[in-house]
Amino acid sequence: MTYLNSFLFVGTICLIGQLILDNTKLTPGHITSLFTALGALLSFLGIYKLFIDWAGIGASIPITSFGNLLYQSCYEGYKMNGILGMFTHLLGGTSGGISSAIIFATILTVIFKARD
């Protein structure tokens, strides 16, 4: 059942993104930013935790999970060191994802060539 829930969650996020892309003048960059902010907002409201409980790892795959992670890192930093902790702990909590994205993108760029 977890596989089905994960598929439905990620599929729904992709469907919403594709509908926005097809029916508006927003670019993929706009949609990525929108989904990241939406993930942070849902985390603030306590709703994203419900998605993680329901969809399992499937809720950690789309870009909305990055917004969730940003919010959670800021909140943990705030609890530890106040306002300044929000900024100092932000990159510490998300650096693994950012670093791996850069490293894998570099490796794939070296291996594969872009087509016109």
116 located within any domain: no
* Average pLDDT over the chain, rounded to an integer: 90
In a domain, 49, yes or no: yes
pLDDT at 91: 79
How many structural domains is the chain composed of?
A: 1
The number of angstroms, rounded, from the C-alpha of 52 to the middle of its chain's C-alpha atoms is 12
**Domain-embedded: residue 27:** yes
Domain presence at residue 97: yes
For residues 78-100, give the mean pLDDT: 84
Percent above pLDDT 90 for the chain = 59
The reported pLDDT for the residue numbered 71 is 92
Listed as own residue / partner, the contacts of 2-5 with beta carbons closer than 8 Å and 24 or more positions apart are: 2/55, 2/56, 2/58, 5/54, 5/55, 5/56, 5/58
Judge whether 74 lies within some domain: yes
- Domain-located, residue 36: yes
> Is 64 contained in some domain?
yes
pLDDT number for residue 30: 95
Interval 93-111: pLDDT, tens? 788 878 888 999 999 999 9
**114 — pLDDT class (breaks 50, 70, 90):** confident
pLDDT digits (tens, 9 = 90+) for 28-55: 999 999 999 999 999 999 999 999 999 9
pLDDT at 116 over 70: no
Domain that holds residue 20: 2-111
